[in-house]
Structure 1
Amino acid sequence: MSGPGVRARLESVLQGQGTFVTTGHQPILLLGPLYVLYKALTAISLAAQLEQTFGAPVVPLFWIASDDHDWDEVGSTTILDRSDATRTLALPVPAGGERKSVGSHILDGPGLDVLDALPDIVPESEFTAHYLKLIRDAYAEGHRVSEAFARFLAGVLGDRGYAWIDSARPELCRAAAPLYRRLLSDWDGVVEAEAAGARALEAAGFDAPISRVEDALPLFFDEGGGRHRVRRGGAVPLEGWRERLEAAPEGFSPNVASRPALESYLLPVAATVLGPGEIAYWSQLPPLFGALDIPLPSVHPRAAWTLVEARTRRILERTGLSPQDLAAGAEPIVERLTREARPEAVKRAFGHFREDAETGMAGIEAAVADNLPGLRGAVGKMRKGILDAASELSRQVDRATRERLDVRLGQVRRAGANLFPRRRPQERVLNPLSFLCRYGPGLVERLAHETDRQVASFLAGRAEDG
């Protein structure tokens, strides 16, 4: 829990006198991309505003999906370094742990060596030491990956009155066992509900985002060697799965389809905060919620921001660009600026030359075709040689122009790397650490304030829509 007042409110909700607003993510290294932070801030804001509306406690809850086994995603993060270049840090995958749940992995010294590079990567400011200490305290030897994530998230968000839950905790797994029994007892009904969700989307003209595994439940089992889908017709019969559930409920965990249902099965969830991809796959889930007799919570989109720093804004203003102009990367802009910066006399001369060359070559080709047709090949080579030479000279002109524009083009490239790294939205690639080190807790305050405004506007729009 985070914040002194959240415990009492949490106890009220658990006693049936309130509700939750949930969001969540895998315990990705150092909080992962910016959008993870945006999800948490949206849930906190939405809970506060719904609490005012309902007049009863509404607690924001971050569901740490530590039963996930995607080490490639969870174990790495991309940070913008001091030169605005992207640097990816990755924890080593534990030997034999490729399919094991990541959240329960215990951090050790050798695995944490990757974080030693952080002081040389992040910007230096009055805030840097604070955030590096938060990381050292959170990602300490002996901590679980999910515990490190929760500690660092708490350090970044501060006392904002939210709670979190670790999905891999044995207590939660045991509490989930009755839902898993329900899945096993109505295997055909559950499989059909998943298929119905996919058919409904496809009938509406959309692809079903959750791929189905033939005759498999939306459920995983890990007997120590890694997570695998619970399937019928394999080495384990239905009765065998039931026996395993009774003997070791901690070995079972939900998949992407059943995890949302599990949240609402265990907790009174009024609303959940989702990103665009999650909203897409949630649209496939109503039949599954119905088959399990679980209420479907309201869906609220997370906030989405692009952090435009003052130095980046100045570059945009000087070049007449908007952030969206760099969505395809900086190079198209670099090429345009280079063309525009060519000396006007050189551009005119090239244009006249090409026009004259085309006219002259057309005349030569016509004359040769009428009088010396055997030389057509030689004329073609001549045309190609002239145009190739012109193209090479044009490239040299561009290189010379770029050298004159070197500083300006470098700034455009830095702006592109900041706003759309790897041609993807900033929030989906960049870790918040560099921005936090540069601007400190004030950045989170500003984001929280803007998120409050966005959530209020969304709720007002819903009210107007009835």
Structure 2
Amino acid sequence: MTSLTESAAHRTSPAALGAFPDLFIDYCTDFDAVADFYPGDWQSRTARQAAATTAAERPADRDVLADTLLDQNERWGLDESTRSHIETLRDPDSIAVVTGQQVGLFTGPLYTIYKTITTLQLIEEWADQTGRPVVPVFWVEGEDHDFEEIATAHVLRRNKVDPLSYQPDIDANPGAVGRLALTDEVHEVVDQLDEALPPSDFKPAVMEHVRAAYRPGTRLEDAFTRLICSFFEDDGLVFMNPDDARLKALTRPLFRRELEDPQASVAQVDAASRALQDRGYHAQVNARPTNLFWLGDDSRWAIDLEDENTFRLRGTDRTFSRSELISRLDETPERFSPNVVLRPLMQDHLLPTAAYVAGPGEVSYFAQYGGVYEWADLDMPLIHPRASVSLVEGKVQKVLDKYGLSVSDFHDDLEPLFQDVVIDTMEVDVDALFSEALPQLHQTLNALKPEVEAVDRTLGASTEAARSAIMDEMESLKQKVVRAEKRQQDEVRSQLKKAHTNLRPNGALQERTINVLYYLNKYSPTLLDDLRHALHTDTSAHQVVEL
């Protein structure tokens, strides 16, 4: 594969893909329309400098943070560049560019990799624009309890989407999934991956990375992090796992504030939600008091406010008074876990976050969080959209070229595009043929109508009824001709289906479905470096990369 350059990435409007919410599209392409929901323009040098100053001045125990991160990263493959970045966090002038993701099998969909690449790309840019040391941080989100959401990876196999699932015997509520130790069943899913990936010069190295990370007895969050770490060696990426008693102890003030007045944060989210909906946008998050979970040894339960002073673990009979929960927080802060509302606040309570690299859903929910940050006495970082990317293989590009198509022509449903292409490629121009015939029929009926009415005036209505019936029959005939031609276009359908499977697998964007290992196996692990050079940090457009 030839090395990619920045010119290899073509840009297309995110709106053209029909896959993103209006709020995200406006955030990327018309920031002024949504500016009052966010802390600043993510592309503005002045806003970046202000965000950097605010982040550096934010009170934080940087030494405890750095000591904890050194311990954590030792487990995942600490290299000198990462060690140096962790030590940099002790510097009160330093700031962080942060991203994060759930611990998906084999790193999950491609967007995990794009988040990582965008974060690494921004370090030098922010350092140049702010004059500060900048540290890239990846927040390893393993505290969720939805195992099904992270247990399947998808690769392409013979132009079909092949799901690979890790299926151990676990409870419906297994607790923080990142803590789960991989069982012997992990051998099965790794073997499935080995079978699904075709032979290549790069396969031995790719599978070595996977097998080294995903071994029985290894926690899911550790396997996930080690695999990403192995693909970004020497890049200085700092991984951070919030499921740590030391980090939770530092977060006590935030959690205490939530327990003392759980209605306040929800009220802020609800107010922003109404404002968004009044503007015609959607509300990504529906909040309810509280925004905390209780982490048991083998379960994770939402903490619901039952009455003014009583809290219940959702779906159970277990209750706490406010004073009991606060006492537990003081004694065992690691038992508490933030939900989607408090998670970014915990992050920015601990880190000097100047920018957060976010996916479309995250960009949307940050629009609801301005008031919550004020409630918590925190400043929201700038929200930088991650790179949104479609990788176009040569075999797919040939199909696009053959039919004069682009990536943005492919949406969730292939059928409308197939019909358009069939009509365009038919030897008989069906539209022209029927467009010529219909006026002639109307002209004949128009001439006939007065003659018929001369015989019997009541037959005018019958003439119009005949006209309507003839038009219906002509439309039916036209569709029969199109369907007959479509049946003869099996090759067209097959080629478009192949392209659709590659670009919109299962109807979704490629980046939301396919795992990076398919591409690393086929094009080399150096593809990640090539993408760092090819992709632009101006992520306001969807980027199309030809491989």
If the TM-score is normalised by the length of the shorter chain, which range does it land in? Answer: 0.7 to 0.9
What residue number does 1:440 align with?
Answer: 524
Tell me which amino acid in the other structure corresponds to 2:270.
Answer: A
Tell me which amino acid in the other structure corresponds to 2:385.
Answer: P
2:251 to 168, 176, 191: 176
The SS at the match of 1:236 is strand
**Distance of 1:346 and 1:205 partners within structure 2:** 40
**Deviation of residue 197 (structure 1)?**
3.4
**Deviation of residue 73 (structure 1)?**
1.7
What residue number does 2:293 align with?
Answer: 220
2:242 to 167, 175, 181: 167
**Residue pair 1:75, 1:93 contacting (<8 A) in 2 also:** no
Identity of aligned residues (%): 28
**Long gaps (5+) in structure 2:** 1-72, 312-318, 542-547
Instruction: Write the deviation string for residues 26-81 of structure 1: whole angstroms up to 9, x where unpaired.
Output: 01111111111111111111122222333432110000111112222211222111
The SS at the match of 1:228 is strand
**Distance of 2:88 and 2:423 partners within structure 1:** 65
What residue number does 2:489 align with?
Answer: 402
TM-score (norm 2): 0.72
**Distance of 1:386 and 1:203 partners within structure 2:** 46
**Residue pair 1:34, 1:431 contacting (<8 A) in 2 also:** yes
The SS at the match of 1:59 is strand
The answer to whether the aligner puts 1:419 opposite 2:503 as a matched pair is yes
The SS at the match of 1:113 is helix
Moved more, 161-170 or 334-343: 334-343
2:103 to 19, 27, 48: 27
Instruction: Write the deviation string for residues 295-314 of structure 1: whole angstroms up to 9, x where unpaired.
Output: 32222121122111222212
The answer to whether the aligner puts 1:332 opposite 2:416 as a matched pair is yes
The answer to whether the aligner puts 1:154 opposite 2:238 as a matched pair is no
**Residue pair 2:269, 2:371 contacting (<8 A) in 1 also:** yes
Cα gap change, 1:236 to 1:344, in 2 (>3 Å): same
Instruction: Write the deviation string for residues 409-452 of structure 1: whole angstroms up to 9, x where unpaired.
Output: 3222111111122232211222111111111123111211133x
The SS at the match of 1:107 is coil
**Residue pair 1:19, 1:58 contacting (<8 A) in 2 also:** yes
What residue number does 2:340 align with?
Answer: 256
**Distance of 2:415 and 2:227 partners within structure 1:** 36
Moved more, 14-23 or 24-33: 14-23
Runs of 4+ residues over 6 Å off in structure 1: 345-364, 382-389
**Residue pair 1:78, 1:88 contacting (<8 A) in 2 also:** yes
The SS at the match of 1:124 is coil
Moved more, 394-403 or 1-10: 394-403
**Long gaps (5+) in structure 1:** 459-466
1:300 to 381, 384, 389: 384
Cα gap change, 1:95 to 1:352, in 2 (>3 Å): same
**Distance of 1:328 and 1:191 partners within structure 2:** 35
The SS at the match of 2:167 is coil
Superposition CA RMSD, Å? 3.5
Cα gap change, 1:182 to 1:389, in 2 (>3 Å): closer
**Distance of 2:342 and 2:476 partners within structure 1:** 64
The SS at the match of 1:14 is coil
Instruction: Write the deviation string for residues 195-235 of structure 1: whole angstroms up to 9, x where unpaired.
Output: 3433443454433321022xx12111123452222222343
Tell me which amino acid in the other structure corresponds to 1:416.
Answer: H
1:238-249 pair list within 5 angstroms? 238-249=322-333
What residue number does 1:463 align with?
Answer: none
What residue number does 1:10 align with?
Answer: 86
What residue number does 2:5 align with?
Answer: none
**Distance of 1:204 and 1:386 partners within structure 2:** 46
Number of residue pairs aligned between Structure 1 and Structure 2:
449
Cα gap change, 1:166 to 1:361, in 2 (>3 Å): same
